[in-house]
Amino acid sequence: MKRIFQKTLFTAILALISQFSILCFAETGKWPDEHGAARFSNPKPQANELSCKIVPVKKQPPIFEVKRSGSLKEPAKIKKTPVEYAAECTFTIKGKKNIGTGFFISPDGYAITCKHVIEDEPNQTAVLNSMEEYPIGVISTSSEYDLALILVTTIRKTPFLKFRDPFTLKPGEKVYAVGSSVGLRSTVTDGSFSGQRKKLPSEQRSIQFSAPVKPGNSGGPLIDKEGKVIGAISWKLISNKGVPVTGIGFAVPSDYILEEYQGYMN
């Protein structure tokens, strides 16, 4: 009797476990999602529940934002100094044998240089600061001074220099030599006006100055701090009785230039 009761109880327990398993696990399913990943659920979702909608990620605002205040304007043009402008009025004279400097005295391309720069040198060219090259025509050479008037046949108007009376200069006044020193265009060196000297036996005056000059400076302008021409650089003293000399240069005075070529100036 006892054994029959135990058997009946065991059978009832097995039945309850079986029903519980059916309730708990009958609907449990393993299924792949649309990306191929394994998913488990109870109950298994329907097909329409597996669909998803891809929503684009909204553009995130930048971490920081640069704001402009006011409108952008053209940078202001920097006004050139008188010496800088004077350098733009000079050009290199390039030939087969010689190299020198010239400077414009009118907007039409007329320029001054030294006579010894263009003598016996046909087909010379002018190299401007823009690196443009133009042919040079010799208009006149002075019979008295180391001066020449030339024409640079440019395609545009040229900047030009004004002149100053050399007799208004005072010893010690600052001056600038501008020219193609050893071929380096628009080289500017500074020094002082020393005085006006007579070169014997001609009795011609020359302006003495201390600004360093080298081969290639010949024909370039000697100017004051306002950029006005006080002479055309002509020669320098390199020795005296065998002793080397530095810092003594000479220029043809501006009044001689005006005497010869004022009619071509603007």
pLDDT computed for residue 242 by the predictor: 85
For residues 80 and 82, give the distance between their C-alpha atoms in angstroms, rounded to a whole number.
7
Domains in the chain, please, with CATH?
Answer: 89-152 (2.40.10.10), 166-254 (2.40.10.10)
Of 216, 208, 168, 215, the C-alpha closest to 191 is: 208
CB burial of 86-102 (b: ≥16 within 10 Å; e: otherwise) equals bbbbbbbbbbeebbbbb
- Weakest-pLDDT range from 58-62, 171-175, 187-191: 58-62
CA 105 from chain centre, in angstroms, equals 27
pLDDT digits (tens, 9 = 90+) for 106-152: 999 999 999 999 998 888 999 998 899 999 999 999 999 999 999 99
Predicted TM-score (pTM) of the model is 0.70
Q: At residue 66, does pLDDT exceed 90?
A: no
Q: Calculate the CA dihedral of residues 266, 198, 120, 127 and round it to 10 degrees.
A: -40
pLDDT computed for residue 98 by the predictor: 85
CB atoms within 10 A of CB 50: 13
* 253 cis-preceded (ω within 30 degrees of 0): no
pLDDT computed for residue 58 by the predictor: 45
For residues 140 and 160, give the distance between their C-alpha atoms in angstroms, rounded to a whole number.
19
pLDDT computed for residue 201 by the predictor: 78
Q: Which residue has the higher pLDDT, 238 or 250?
A: 250
Q: Stretch 178-193: mean pLDDT, rounded?
A: 94
Q: At residue 199, does pLDDT exceed 90?
A: no
Q: CA gyration radius for the chain?
A: 47
Catalytic residues: 116, 146, 218
Confidence of residue 23 (pLDDT cuts 50, 70, 90): very low
